[in-house]
Structure 1
Amino acid sequence: MQVYSGTDVANHLKIKPTTLRKYCALLEEAGYTFSRNDQGHRYYSDKDVMALRSVLKAKRSGITLKEAVHGVVHQSEEITTIDDTQNEKERYGSDTMNELKTLIQQQGDMMAKQTEVIQSLSHQIEQQQEQINQLSQRLEAPDDHEQSEEKSIWQRLFKK
């Protein structure tokens, strides 16, 4: 991998070193990362030079600097994601990736079945709760037969 100094990059892009630092600071604020040496100075790869060139190109086409920076960061994230996926395929092979996809699908199916079982159990609990409520109401309600006997006792006592 080729590594460049800030001066080299500024000369190559035909901008001042202060402009380069400003653009790099904006890119870093937006989430882009530059490599740094032990003293904390940035050093640049070909990818970084391309990102900076994209910022300059977008700015020259009339896009604001902030929009250009965010576009480059977003584009860089997409490229990184694609590169990571490629690296995973190379590292694990397509057979392993297919096995992982199959496992993920199986887990999804299992979760769907578990959801069905939970819904069924929940419905059963609701039915049992209704039965409990009905029994509770029956136990709390006064018995008509007892009421009639009580009235007849009162009627006998007070002769009503």
Structure 2
Amino acid sequence: MSELQGTVQRLYSPGEVALQLKVERQTITKYARLFETVGFTFHKDEKGNRGYTDINVMMFRDLISQKSKPGITLESAAKSIVSIYKDKSVTDTVTTFPVEIERYNSVIEDKLDMLMLAFQKQQELIESQHKMIQSLQSEIQQQNHYIDNSLKERDKKLLENMNLLQEQKKEQSEVIKQLAITKESEKSKRSILARWFGK
């Protein structure tokens, strides 16, 4: 187990290396590209982002120190440093992730939590709206039932009134018929009386 632990190296993000060396983040990226042009290989994740080991940090420190010496260019300093550290180029033993990736994962988890909360609230809203729709449907059914009953009642009364009117018309017709019969009868009586009494 201790042998395995010895092979695993800590990876630093460019930002972390910049903080350690008190330089700009872009400076670390610039130096890394310079080392790569002279044949050094850094660890990269699946997205192509570099991760730096403690040895890489020492290389950057040496480069900063050598570039300040008179007569030494950045390129020549990089070449000499790479020749020293060439055997320390990245290998498969580098398996840890930079702190920035951990922070990124933490941010992703927070966003997922927020999304889950928003989803839960949306589900509650949908459920509330569903209950409201059911309530409205029930109300509409009750109103339709009431309207149906009201219409039935109205139709019934209308029918009753029409029947009543027909009955009244029949009665009136009967009365008129009786009056006509009575009139004819009286006319007939008068005609008989007129013949008898010569009037």
What TM-score do the two structures reach when normalised by structure 1?
A: 0.47
What TM-score do the two structures reach when normalised by structure 2?
A: 0.38
Which of the two has higher C-alpha Rg?
Answer: 2
